[in-house]
Structure 1
Amino acid sequence: MSLTTYCPADGTRIPAGSLTWRCPVCQGPLDLDYSPTPSPLKSLTGRTSSMWRYAECLPLPRPDCTLGEGRTPLVPLTAEVDAKLDFLNPTLSFKDRGAVMLAALATRLGPERVIADSSGNAGTAIAAYCARARLACTVYVPEGTSAKKLEQIRAHGARLEVVEGDREATARAARTAADEDGVFYASHVYNPYFLHGTKTYVHELWEDLGGRLPESLVLPVGNGTLLLGAALAVAELHHAGLIDRRPALHAVQSAAVAPLARAWQAGSDEIVVDPAPAPTAAEGIAIPNPPRARQILRAVRESGGAFHTVTEDQIRHAQLDLASRGLYVESTGAVCWAATREGGAVGGRSVVVPLCGAGLKTGLAPDHGSV
């Protein structure tokens, strides 16, 4: 059955099998009491070609609702930078890695219904895996969410709730519904099982690079689910003695919505929430108040990495540059390349950027003029 969850802020523990989705004391997100040991490289030969090849590091067994997520290609962009094509996951984004974990957990807990909130990709992934698991699902999204993402959510049979306002208003609406009886809140932010799915991104890199990791991992950050998953995997591999050094984690935000980057620059552990953030084409990371802000800032600091911001023009130019190389990704998926291309802020002898979502989900970023 499910493992015990706990609050990293105050230590409150939640019994296994509970539908409780946040700390009842401080209302914060939960972590999972789970410290697996990865298998050595040679033992992976012949295993299934999906994220479930790392079964000993996953808190649930391979579920019936799997769609073969994971094992996405790694391709070079320059002599120093490789891109991992995570937009080739089944619902065309990296969120499948965590969504399958939440659907598998919900199947075990047997709720009356599942709800999720999202700026798009997490919602499409949760809707798909709930459809696969035959779970009733409602997805809350902010107004202005890309039409193709809404179409995808509906196509999977999920009920769609479009919330007037921004991403934060959407989260509040979903959290209110999550407190109703019989509801499983498939939150990619609050539920730690999601992070244990996204960490397989790094386990795959380690395997594909022959048992090592790059000098720098560059990751887009809104709620930080990919970065925090990466930090989990790095810690597991290092603790097991399978890597001798940890890569620097470099977090990228849109300059329009950058509460974590501002906190980093100020040397603070606390973010200042902008009540009226500017619009950004990088809708997937337009998060003004990430609940795991302290954890994200700590993970970047402890890795020796840094925060970076990119402008709307830089995002569009990076998206077009990737398309000219045969890789059409959504605006959010281009932010890491925007931070690294042409002598950008992130350098190093070996760097990996994720291309997180397919371009057909959003289209091209608007043209705001030349860089």
Structure 2
Amino acid sequence: MTPLPDRFCPVDGTRVPAGSLAWRCPACGGPLDLDFSPTPANLKSLSGRVNSLWRYAECLPLAAPTVTLGEGRTPLVELREGVFAKLDFLTPTLSFKDRGAVLLTELALRLGPRQVIADSSGNAGTAVAAYCARAALPCTVYVPTGTPAGKLEQIGAHGARVEVVDGDREAAAATAREAADTPDTFYASHVFNPYFLHGTKTHVYEIWEDLGGRLPDVLVLPVGNGTLLLGAALAIGELHAAGLIGRRPALYAVQSAAVAPLADAWAAGADDLTGTAPAAPTSAEGIAIPRPARARQILRAVRATGGTFLTVTDDRIRHAQRDLASQGLYVEPTGAAAWAAVREGALGERTAVVPLCGAGLRTGLARG
């Protein structure tokens, strides 16, 4: 079995050994990155490989998967000329979070903890619960009050214990992080654990492959904790360093206007969050994150590609969700946010891909 890479803190450089169950930097308490610089395979060598995200084995920090459910290789469908949708709601648990959850679960199997815990507004918890079920690992998922009933039902159906926390998404995360410090516990955090990002990056490898070895001018991504965007930045960097793309696409980060701390920091020209951003209820609960732990990395990644931040109101999200449904694509409000940002022509003549990252079956149409 290939040795696991070490983790390190991007802020102060503190290193964490590969076999440790530590989930954050022991010095500053921040998220960790992975000491891993892969060289991706060229297009020709991908022919005949397994039809899942594991076809990009050279670029993944884990090999020989045992809990795979065939995740990845989702379709790319044109919404209008030059703008494509990546249908990541067509995954085993109906969201892009499967890409990261499978790597977290594979890592947990190798580390052998007594229990796995996660926190989520629904999709990440569902994905972790499903893959832990596949791996026969005991799992507890902490969710905030108001999590859609369909998501709670699916998490429980996979055999995970559901703990509903009295409070918002941040309260659920705080409760989970306290539990994560219990001995012999693996915290399957899609925010703090870098393995998750190396799973989400595969959606960009798939776009690159399906477009014949190129990427669009712009990748438009919904951003709360930024795991999809940061994964995209990893893949872009790896492909560019290997000479497999000649230019880097711009990253456009989309936030709900109701909860937009990163967009506010961007508008202020800041390198980090500028304070406690005002927050209001939003149908896009998956990106309603007031204090994303990787804020500095997200802002840096967008800036490095010449990208920008966009915000969308719930009214625009609702119209975008219904527009997608009229085209045969039924996604949750969070999944419609990126399309809401570009459907009225914000991209001009540039080509783009937007991810439709969660199915609408468990949340229904946005109201208003």
Q: Into which bin does the TM-score normalised by the smaller protein fall? A: over 0.9
Q: CA deviation at 1:3?
A: 1.2
Q: 1:156 to 1:81 in 2, by over 3 A?
A: same
Q: Distance in 1 between matches of 2:160 and 2:21?
A: 20
Q: Give 2:361's aligned residue.
A: 360
Q: Distance in 1 between matches of 2:229 and 2:275?
A: 21
Q: Mapping of 1:283-362 within 5 angstroms?
A: 283-343=285-345, 345-362=346-363
Partner of 1:166 in structure 2?
168
Q: Is the 8 A contact 1:216 1:348 kept in 2?
A: no
**Structure 1: which amino acid aligns with 2:75?**
P
Provide the TM-score with structure 1 as the length reference. Answer: 0.97
Change (3 A) 1:81 1:274: same
Query: Are the counterparts in 2 of residues 217 and 248 from structure 1 also a CA contact under 8 Å?
Result: yes
1:236 maps to 238
Name the residue aligned to 1:198.
Answer: 200
Structure 1 residues 153-209: Cα deviation after superposition (integer angstroms, max 9, x where no partner): 000000001011111111110000000100000000000000000000000000000
Please name the residue that 1:137 is paired with: 139
Residues in 1 aligned to 2:8 and 2:363: alpha-carbon distance in whole angstroms = 36
Partner SS, residue 88 of structure 1: coil
- What's the secondary structure of 1:86's corresponding residue? coil
Q: Secondary structure at the match of 1:235?
A: helix
Among candidates 171, 175, 178, match of residue 176 of structure 1: 178
Aligned to 2:105: 103
Structure 1 residues 179 and 251: CA distance shift in structure 2, 3 A:
same
The alpha carbon displacement at 1:273 in A equals: 4.6
- Tell me how large the CA RMSD over aligned residues is: 0.9
**What letter corresponds to residue 218 of structure 1 in structure 2?**
V
TM-score by length of 2: 0.98
* Corresponding residue for residue 14 of structure 2: 12
State the AA in 1 paired with 2:356: L
Residue 342 of structure 1: CA displacement?
Answer: 2.1
Q: Which runs of 5+ in 1 are unaligned?
A: none
- Structure 2: gaps (5+ residues): none
Report the residue type matching 1:286 in the other structure: A
2:360 maps to amino acid: G
How far residue 45 of structure 1 moved from its aligned partner, in angstroms, is 0.3
CA contact 2:260–2:277 (8 Å) conserved in 1: no
Counterpart residue type for residue 111 of structure 1: P
Report the Cα offset of residue 16 of structure 1: 1.4
Runs of 4+ in 1 over 2 A off after TM superposition: 272-276, 345-349
